[in-house]
Amino acid sequence: MRTDLIIVDDYCQKCHIDPDFILLLEEDGLINVQTVDGERCLLESELGELERFTRWYYDLSINIEGISVIRDLLGRMRNMEEEIRHLKRQLRLFGDSNLPL
């Protein structure tokens, strides 16, 4: 078995979360679950985001739809921040060196 995969049932048991929560995230396209040798597995690279979603769901009582909206808004915000940095760099090229990065 690949070492970058984590079995969903094992993860849920260790983290005390309901496996149906993982299924809901997968159905909404928020995480990817792969089936390997009959076992549902998570990619290790997605654990950070999964942990964030878990906190939102269990600690803040945000439903799956809310998690999806928040994730999309945060992504849009990161894109806009990057665009602002890019535009500031372009302005600096045209002589306005007083703008902070």
> 3-state DSSP call for residue 81?
helix
pLDDT of the residue at 2 = 62
> 3-state DSSP call for residue 62?
coil
Domains of the chain: 5-93 (1.10.1660)
Burial 37-76 (b: 16+ CB within 10 A, else e): eeebbbeeebeeebeebbebbeeeebebeebbeebeeeee
Give 31-80 pLDDT, tens digit per residue.
999 999 999 999 999 999 999 999 999 999 999 999 999 999 999 999 99
Place of tokens 């950070």: 48
CB 67 within 8 A of CB 56: yes
